[in-house]
Amino acid sequence: MSGSDGGTSPNTWETPRLAGLTSWDADWAGLRVVVAGLGASGFSAADTLIELGAVVVVVDAGETPGNAAKADTLRIVGAREVLLGAGHASSLPLVDGAQPDLVVTSPGWPPTQPLLAEAAAAGIPIWGDVELAWRVRIREGRPTADWLTITGTNGKTTTVGLTESMLIAAGRRAVAAGNVGTPILDVIRDPQGYDVLAVELSSFQLHWAHSIEPLASVCLNIAEDHVDWHGSYEAYLAAKASVYERTRIACIYNVEQRETETMVENAEVQEGCRAVGFTTGMPSISMMGVVEDLLVDRAFIEQRKDSAAELASIGELGEVVPRHLVANALAAAGLVRAAGVPAAAVRDGIRAYQPGDHRIQVVANEGGVLWINDSKATNPHAASASLASFSSVVWIAGGLSKGVSYEDLVRDHAGRLRAVVLLGEDPAPLQGALARHAPDVPVFLPPSHHTGPGRDTGGSPDPVAGDALMQWVVAEAARLAQDGDTVLMAPAAASMDQFTSYAHRGAAFMAAVQARGGEGITAKES
């Protein structure tokens, strides 16, 4: 790690005027801003900027009823213009007849999007909503929260939830924000303010954030994902690594994944910042880890050379405790210990934590068969962690692949597969990997897989059709499963080809398991 003073000098993403905008009470009045995107974060950014006195033009390609309602609201509160439609999103609009001073983009918009590419070519700074939130976090009369920033290919939402729970158990006013679902600008504008924010950051959000100075930070893990958005794995890796930049107290890294340690070694951090590892094995000095069945701390105690502080038992994490859940809990513990949370509050936070749906969620345990919903496993790395937790699996997998490879996933876990039931409009990538690396494992596809439920709706998934598909999938898995098996839905793919979201896919799975529907449809073996 390289030390720095944590300053934010003007550079290619920051003009002299923008360099001075480092608090809510700074001079935002008259700043010409284009807000790109009208989702939850875009709406929040536009609303915030209007309140600050900026001149705001909002652009979104979607002409949906929801966007129209949001546009009406923003016009009422003072947006200069709200431009809806694909034509408007293809070029950078003027603001009051002049080039904008700033573009604030929604995280889903990639750098290659025409409006953003035009802004970048013109030298106009581009921020995300997280960068804007960091700039306005200081406000007279309200506490300024410390930020604990969390990224990784998988496990972010679980870790941010555990972090929030531990902070609350310690008596801190804290909340999970960012990519977890609550727009961070909505949190920043809370009238009471917060002591600490547990901020989940996607690679998209990190790409558009430039000056955050977290108290502590972590990249939980890294694996190929979102290559289509970033353009390359190297660019995705760089975005994730930026979570460590300018960290003040502790950079938490995954001892079992060297890439995250390298990120910390290369980060420009503030003077005195420590590197603290977490491992699901025995911890060395300055690490969080496991001794027998206990989570322990050998980093944030004075006697760390020859002792460890007990934090919690593994069993307190839940009914099914896969290895990666232990890792997530240790990462959260490292973050909050860096923020001064006592060991007892780590334990109390783990006990109080309620895991979200669709993350290695036990749906049923009947007739010797365990049914697990891990719809949140939307890439091979997450699915690998799920598969590693069980010895004999009927695997429900497939969906929108996002351009990733399934070769290593199937090769590593072929020995634990009893059968595979495939989802997805295009099962070929996963089907091919199974044929190459698990040729003796039977693979089953719905008879109508080549048409897909989304095709009759112009490419948008039909929820009813997706639910019917899942009923067949569950019925087929029930037919294949034997005593001692786990039926695991860990798709290793996104859901949007046949379902509206991973949550819809998971809910459909749970409903079908409980109803045991889908009789009368014949499987097609690949």
Q: Give the model confidence (pLDDT) of 212-251 as tens digits.
A: 999 999 999 998 777 777 788 899 999 999 999 999 999 9
CATH architecture of 361-525: Alpha-Beta Complex (3.90)
Domains in the chain: boundaries: 2-131, 143-352, 361-525
Q: What pLDDT sits at residue 208?
A: 94
Residue 461's pLDDT band (boundaries 50, 70, 90)? low
Question: Which residues are part of a known binding site for ATP?
Answer: 152-158
Task: Read off the pLDDT of residues 246-275 as tens digits, 9 standing for 90 and up.
Answer: 999 999 999 999 999 999 999 999 999 999
Residue 7's pLDDT band (boundaries 50, 70, 90)? very low
Residue 403's pLDDT band (boundaries 50, 70, 90)? confident
Q: What dotted CATH number matches 2-131?
A: 3.40.50.720
Element spanning 174, H or E: strand 174-178
Task: Read off the pLDDT of residues 479-497 as tens digits, 9 standing for 90 and up.
Answer: 999 999 999 999 999 998 9
Cα separations in angstroms, 61 against 48, 192, 254: 21, 35, 39
- Amino acid letter, residue 427: P
Residue 90 has pLDDT above 70, yes or no: yes
Residue 155 has pLDDT above 80, yes or no: yes
Report yes or no on whether pTM surpasses 0.85. no
The answer to whether residues 493 and 378 touch, using CB atoms and an 8 Å cutoff, is yes
- Amino acid letter, residue 512: A
Percent of the chain at pLDDT > 90 equals: 78
Give me the CATH topology for the region 143-352: UDP-N-acetylmuramoyl-L-alanine:D-glutamate ligase (3.40.1190)
d(CA 173, CA 345): 14
Tell me the Ramachandran region of residue 193: left when phi exceeds 0, alpha when psi lies from -120 to 50, beta otherwise: left
**Coil, strand or helix at 137:** coil
Tell me whether the CATH fold assigned to 143-352 matches the one assigned to 361-525: no
Question: Which residues are part of a known binding site?
Answer: 152-158
